[in-house]
Amino acid sequence: MARNIILFHYDGPIAENHKVTVRTLGHTLTHLQSAIDRAFLDLNYGAVVKHARLKANDYPLTDFVVGHPADGGYILDLFNAGRLKIVDRINVAVARAFGEAANEALPFVESLVQQAEHRAEAVNGGAQRPNSFSASVPAAELNNQRARYADRAINREVDQVLSQIRVDRYEGSTLELKLTGDRAHPAYKFDAAKSARFHQVVSTRTLGHPVRLTVKFRALDGGNRSSHPVGKAIHKESGKVFIIHFKSAEDFNSVVPYMRANNRPEVTIVACPVLEYEVFDWDAGDMFFIRLDQ
């Protein structure tokens, strides 16, 4: 049996008189359970895919028992005696992001629209040539990509837990996360500033190298003053539906005829994968439209 213990310790205004609100506790436990589920899916099935869900038989293996609160802020431990090293897997994900968040001067990242404009200039000027979608990721890199995607999925849930100490009314609060698997890992201590940097690390989005792919548009939304146009398309090779973003009304209008046509014909486009935490879901990840293929 693996040893799986998660201890979280809130201190400061969020844990007044060594107590937390139902909202805080519910939010914490919900997202810790989701992180547990993501780690289990990776360990048990070898990958975490978009919108993955547990099967009925998986639930007993991912159940953690809630212990009794302890004094000293608000301290609670969760325990699971299953066969899989779930907590060790969570620690692998958190350790890397926590290390990066320790850097107080994180690099500036342009918006996706600005990045798309630069990509379009490079493609149109011949400085970058799009790869074919199927050849974009070497087979040898797929296992590393899957591991990184699982890290992202786990850290997104941990980030949701940390979001509570970024709330203005809880200014000055801290969260200590202690993960004990087959061995005890160093405690992760967060205040609002480190929580904000952790969020920036795990949520930063960048555009990958442009690729050429054939799609059939399924839905289009022209956006409004506060949001850019977006749509849904079906990838010819995989048959998967993915979200596609547009940087301008002009780009959006260039594909509208392919949506309005009676038979919605296939069209080849150039687009960039949207990487989050440096990874991309090659089955159904978001793409950013660059232009129609020429």
| Domain total of the chain | 2
| Final residue of a structural domain among 187, 203, 219 | 203
In the predicted structure, residue 140 carries a pLDDT above the cut 60: no
Question: In this predicted model, which residue has the larger pLDDT, 131 or 263?
Answer: 131
Same domain flag for 75 and 191: yes
Quote the pLDDT of residue 108: 82
Quote the pLDDT of residue 91: 96
Residues whose CB is less than 8 angstroms from the CB of residue 288 and which lie 6 or more positions away in sequence, other chains included: 112, 115, 116, 119, 207, 244, 245, 246, 247, 271, 272, 273, 274
- pLDDT tier for residue 32 given thresholds of 50, 70 and 90: very high
Same domain flag for 43 and 70: yes
Same domain flag for 41 and 93: yes
Same domain flag for 100 and 219: no
Q: Can you give the residue range of the structural domain that contains 52? A: 4-108+138-203
- d(C-alpha 79, C-alpha 67), whole Å: 8
Tokens, residue 273? 């994968």
Same domain flag for 131 and 174: no
| Model pLDDT for residues 54-75, shown as the tens digit of each residue | 999 999 999 999 999 888 889 9
In the predicted structure, residue 138 carries a pLDDT above the cut 60: no
Mean pLDDT of 258-279: 87
Mean pLDDT of 24-48: 95
| Model pLDDT for residues 73-83, shown as the tens digit of each residue | 899 999 998 88
- d(C-alpha 35, C-alpha 30), whole Å: 9
- pLDDT tier for residue 278 given thresholds of 50, 70 and 90: confident
Q: Would you say 84 and 2 are in contact if contact means Cβ atoms under 8 Å apart?
A: yes
- pLDDT tier for residue 259 given thresholds of 50, 70 and 90: confident
What letter represents residue 62's amino acid? T
- pLDDT tier for residue 155 given thresholds of 50, 70 and 90: very high
Q: What is the mean pLDDT of the chain?
A: 91
Report how far apart, in Å, the C-alpha atoms of 116 and of each of 9, 221, 268 are.
42, 19, 18
Residues whose CB is less than 8 angstroms from the CB of residue 88 and which lie 6 or more positions away in sequence, other chains included: 2, 179, 181, 182, 183, 185
Quote the pLDDT of residue 198: 96
- pLDDT tier for residue 51 given thresholds of 50, 70 and 90: confident
Same domain flag for 102 and 242: no
- d(C-alpha 237, C-alpha 239), whole Å: 6
Tell me the percentage of the chain whose pLDDT exceeds 70.
95
Residues whose CB is less than 8 angstroms from the CB of residue 67 and which lie 6 or more positions away in sequence, other chains included: 76, 77, 78, 79
Quote the pLDDT of residue 209: 92
Same domain flag for 11 and 125: no
What letter represents residue 132's amino acid? S
- d(C-alpha 59, C-alpha 47), whole Å: 17
| Final residue of a structural domain among 203, 221, 249 | 203
Same domain flag for 96 and 162: yes
Residue 182 backbone phi and psi in degrees, to 5: -65, -20
Distance in Å from the first CA to the final CA of the chain = 58
pTM tops 0.75, yes or no: yes
Residue 192 backbone phi and psi in degrees, to 5: -60, -40
Same domain flag for 157 and 214: no
Quote the pLDDT of residue 139: 58
- d(C-alpha 149, C-alpha 275), whole Å: 10
Tell me the percentage of the chain whose pLDDT exceeds 90.
71
Residue 195 backbone phi and psi in degrees, to 5: -60, -40
In the predicted structure, residue 251 carries a pLDDT above the cut 80: yes
Same domain flag for 70 and 193: yes
In the predicted structure, residue 236 carries a pLDDT above the cut 90: no
| Final residue of a structural domain among 151, 177, 203 | 203
Same domain flag for 158 and 277: no
Question: In this predicted model, which residue has the larger pLDDT, 160 or 108?
Answer: 160
In the predicted structure, residue 144 carries a pLDDT above the cut 70: no
9, containing H or E segment: strand 4-11
Tokens, residue 263? 């038979």
Mean pLDDT of 278-294: 88
Same domain flag for 102 and 160: yes
